[in-house]
Amino acid sequence: MATEQALGPLRLQADRFLTHLRASRSYSPHTLRAYGKDLEAFAAKFPDLEPSAIERVHVRGWLADLQKDGTASRATVLRRMAALRSFIKHLRSMGTLKGNPVFGVSLPKRPRPLPKFLTENEMAELMAVPAGGDLKRGRRDRALVELIYSSGLRRAEVLALNCGDVDWLSGTVRVFGKGSKERLVPVGDGALGCLRAHLDDRGRPADAEPMFVGPTGKRLSDAGLVFVLSRWVKSSALKKKITPHVLRHSFATHLMNRGCDIRMVQEMLGHASLQTTQIYTHVSLDRMKEVYKDAHPRK
């Protein structure tokens, strides 16, 4: 194990910062891994730089390096800068850094790509996958896929669910989203039925037990979720790469297409800003055509 001296001053403080983020439980494991790699790269560029001596020239120099060869997308550059901004904010809050070296540093405009989603017919085809040889595993996998699409949950949210987070009477699930913000999200009858079947297979575990577990009986991991969905997609006729986020995008798009109020979609998705949800107005073309045909006098 590397000594603190071998890590260098920036790397050492970055590791302490990541430990702080883990303790706060406001960040997903995916975000923590990304932040760790980003801050490690910044520390490697300035191995002898003291955290208290970070200046705007260092921030601009790193940003220039990220952009100079054009291999990193704008989204990647912005994520890496977000990691550095969070780190600097932490250093300032601790009194380690007096100035604000990210102030006045111009960042590339954030791209707004249209989200990838499945059509309703494709979603129906995905849900029509028959049970495999292992019926219990198949019922668990179906419950997992049905729940993500039914409630539009993020992968970290669905993995963090406990059995007691489902309110069977009201048909809702309690979710802890980004920043540990709690919200209640509706669950469709089909998904509820799949969840009941899955929990029956497990002998009705206690409320504090994880909703989804892997082969060892421990909470299903992020990699386990990706593997489950990948196996499910391969069993279907769809020839697409489908991630948990594609199911979440499909949930939001289908609601918008069917006339759901955008603020209700925002609440269900757990978006802090309505602007984030508005991207789905650009993919609701089917709904737009229906309204046009009903309203325009010349059709």
Residues marked active site are found at 154, 178, 245, 248, 271, 280
Chain centroid offset of residue 162 CA: 18
- By the 10 Å C-beta count (0-12 exposed, 13-18 middle, 19+ buried), 207 is classed as exposed
- Lateral strand order in the sheet of 166-167: 166-167, 172-176, 182-186
Residue 175: which H helix or E strand, with range? strand 172-176
The CA distance from 176 to 163, in Å, is 14
HSE value, Cβ hemisphere, 13 Å, CA-based, for 196: 11
* Residue among 151, 143, 148, 196 at smallest CA distance from 169: 196
